[in-house]
A and B are shown apart, each in its own frame.
Chain A
Amino acid sequence: MTENKSSARRTVTKAAQALASTTGAASEQRLPIRKTYKLYIGGAFPRSESGRSYVVHDAKGGFLANAALASRKDARDAVVAARKAFGGWSGRTAYNRGQVLYRVAEVMEGRRGQFAEEVQASEGVSRRGAYAAVDASVDRLVWYAGWADKIAQVVGGANAVAGPYFNFSSPEPTGVVAVVAPQESSLLGLVSVLAPVIVAGNTAVLVTSHQRPLPAIAFSEVLATSDVPGGVVNVLTGSAAEIGPWLASHMDVNAIDLSGVDDAGLATSLEEAAAGNLKRVVRPSADGAADWTADPTIDRITAFLETKTVWHPVGI
């Protein structure tokens, strides 16, 4: 009886060892998953309408992933989605928008490891540096989220007038904003240009860093799983030189942020195209190397605000 039992146990152990060694061998030979990412438009993840994609390399030149190469028609669809989302997003209370941005920061915090890995691979920084960039990005989101229900008090208010009227100025979002994200700082730069656009109630069409789009793609996955309504942020991976002119000349885009346009000639031509319907334009920093780690100011929020002033009779 005892013998039988022990022999049975032995057999089980052997089987377990065999199993372990098979899976061990399998994991050594496991095929790499060569990911092909898609765009983020209107809350969905479509392929590029053009069917194109391009290879994203890590900082050492190795294969990292494939990313969709957005075309002008993707940009067009993104603008339609952003316009559709604008009414709902700008109509929310400022407090609610702040809460939604906090939520984005929370979800991002939960994916800290993934972001750090992608920043490290994309930018070739140290592990410590990558984590610092991710933490700074989360903190920046929180910082901007706090401004959602405070910006109106700072840049708007009651004006003194010589008459029996109240006179109020209040900031209002300008509409659909096209954003060319910084090319070098793939996550901190991205968050630093995107958060101020949407916190005020604008909706955004974002062109990511061409060489380093992975953190932006992960960020779009964060947006999709937090409470940001579809279409508020639309993420296009691809070339600013290709899509930029279509966005700059688009009559249904109200502002354009050129922070990520490194080529001075391109920036000038985009600014000229943007004049067609008097878009608000944020120029890239003069020396071409913005320091995204520096403390932010509210300038990026106010760049995409319009001031509405109303007169109202006193009393009755």
Chain B
Amino acid sequence: MTLQTQQDSAGLADATSSNEALRRFLHGLPGVDQVGAEARAAQLATRSIKTTAKQFAIDLAIRMVDLTTLEGQDTPGKVRAICAKAMRPDPSDAGAPPVAAVCVYGDMAAVAKQALRDSGVHVACVATAFPSGRSALPVKLADTRNAVAAGADEIDMVIDRGAFLSGRYLQVFEEIVAVREACGDAHLKVIFETGELQTYDNVRRASWLAMMAGGHFIKTSTGKTQPAATLPVTLVMLEAVRDFRAMTGQMVGVKPAGGIKTTKDAIKYLVMVNEVAGAAWLDPDCFRFGASTLLNDLLMQRTKISTGYYAGPDYFTLD
């Protein structure tokens, strides 16, 4: 990285003093080599993970899942069912670890909190006019406060892509700062919707912007648009959190979301986390999967390893 000139926290503080300064900083970040990033991601994806390493990866991936239901048709009953599954993913095997969090809309936070209680599984809520983020700041803040008051431990906010893409970086920055303040003790995940950011350079800029604004996690997508999470996009974000720690000492987490459906995919991501960011990120506090169908596939693979024969979807919950 050629960030030497900007490498100290004081420099970062200066960078956010005005829109012009922020623009200069973000556009001063080295460009992403698109072909290189894609080739690196593809190369890491070929690594073969077997036997005990695979067992470890599957259990880790289960612990990293943010079990998500974000449908207009969600009911309290469905949220309670998801919560039960989150706490005990495989009813036939007590050894299967619980997932990291349940991710729901704000109005379901209270239901989820009541179901999960002190199980250790967090309640994550999407807020700030999810998924488009097109609303006035007071509305977004009220949305966030409501979710936190209802018991959310984590807030998944979306950035205003319109403002970001038209270069109003300071507006995006200040919105994230304001939402972070509204979160109180709750952790903040910042969703970029990388499918709408057009370039890897923009992904890198958005990552730095969100990290400087104090986001605890940076997250690829809402899961509502295509393409959602991809390996190269996640690679760029993992590089950003690695460099941010090198500069400031702070660990920021990464959460790819949307389109990760199989154990094979999940393991590819874990390999990349280990190789790009480092083993420190192989922890549910620093890396999450936003997913719903992924969990069943992880459980089926887990069952295959423990029983020795292939499992079928008939024996796992529909969700």
Report chain B residues within 8 Å CB of A249: 308-310
User: Is residue A246 contacting chain B, with contact meaning CB distance below 8 A?
Assistant: yes
Q: How far is the CA of A250 from the CA of B313 in the complex (A)?
A: 11
A79: which of B310, B314, B315 is its contact (CB, 8 Å)? B310
Residue of A nearest to B309 (CB): A249
Q: Is the CB of A277 within 8 A of B310?
A: no
Chain A: CB-nearest residue to B308: A249
Bound Cα distance A277, B309 (Å): 11
B312 part of interface (Cβ distance < 8 Å): yes
List chain A residues, Cβ under 8 A from B310: 76, 79, 246, 249-252
Q: CA of A63 to CA of B308 in the docked complex: distance in angstroms?
A: 37
Q: Give the residue among B308, B310, B314, B315 with the most A Cβ atoms within 10 A.
A: B310
Q: Number of B residues whose C-beta is below 8 Å from A?
A: 8
Q: Does B212 contact A (CB under 8 A)?
A: no
- A252-B314 in contact (CB<8A): yes
Q: List the A side residues contacting B309 at CB < 8 Å.
A: 246, 249-251, 273, 276
Number of interface residues of A (CB under 8 A): 12
The count of A-to-B residue pairs whose CB atoms sit within 8 angstroms is: 26
Output the least CB separation between A311 and chain B (Å).
25
* 8 Å CB interface, B292-319 against A: 308-315
A276 to B312, CA, bound (A): 12
Q: Mark A242-285, 1 if CB is under 8 A from B, else 0.
A: 00001001111100000000000000000001001100000000
Closest to B311 in A: A251
Nearest residue in A to B303 (C-beta to C-beta)? A251
Alpha-carbon distance A298/B315, docked complex (angstroms): 32
Tell me which residues across on chain B come within 8 A of A276, comparing CB atoms: 309
Residues of B within 8 A of A83 (CB): 313
Contacts of A253 in B (CB 8 A): 312
Q: A281: shortest Cβ distance to chain B, in Å?
A: 16
Bound-complex Cα distance A83 to B311 (A)? 13
Inter-chain contacts of B308 with A (CB < 8 A):
249
A172 to chain B, nearest CB (A): 15
Taken together as a complex, chains A and B put the C-alpha atoms of A277 and B311 apart, in Å, by 10
Most buried by B among A249, A252, A273: A252
Measured between alpha carbons, how far is A187 from B24 in the docked complex, in Å? 73
A250 to B312, CA, bound (A): 7
Report the minimal beta-carbon distance from B170 to chain A, rounded to whole angstroms: 49
Task: Name the residue among A249, A250, A251, A276 with the largest chain B CB count within 10 angstroms.
Answer: A251
Interface residues of B in 49-84 (CB under 8 A from A): none
8 Å CB interface, A63-86 against B: 76, 79, 83
Chain B residues closer than 8 Å to A246, beta-carbon distance: 309-310
Residues 21-40 of A, flagged 1 when their CB comes within 8 A of B and 0 if not, give 00000000000000000000
Query: Chain B contacts of A251 at CB under 8 A?
Result: 309-312, 314-315
Query: What residue of chain B has the Cβ atom nearest to residue A76's Cβ?
Result: B310
Q: How many whole Å from A68's CB to the nearest CB in chain B?
A: 20
| Best-buried of B311, B312, B314 by chain A (most CB within 10 Å) | B312
20 contacts between A and B (CB under 8 A): A76-B310, A79-B310, A246-B310, A249-B308, A249-B309, A249-B310, A250-B309, A250-B310, A250-B312, A251-B309, A251-B310, A251-B312, A251-B314, A251-B315, A252-B311, A252-B312, A252-B313, A252-B314, A273-B309, A277-B312
Give me the 9 closest cross-chain CB pairs, A-B, nearest first.
Answer: A252-B312, A251-B312, A249-B309, A250-B310, A251-B311, A76-B310, A251-B315, A251-B310, A250-B309
Given A246-B309, A250-B309; 13 other pairs, CB 8 A cutoff: A79-B310, A249-B308, A249-B309, A250-B310, A251-B309, A251-B311, A251-B314, A252-B310, A252-B312, A252-B314, A253-B312, A276-B309, A277-B312
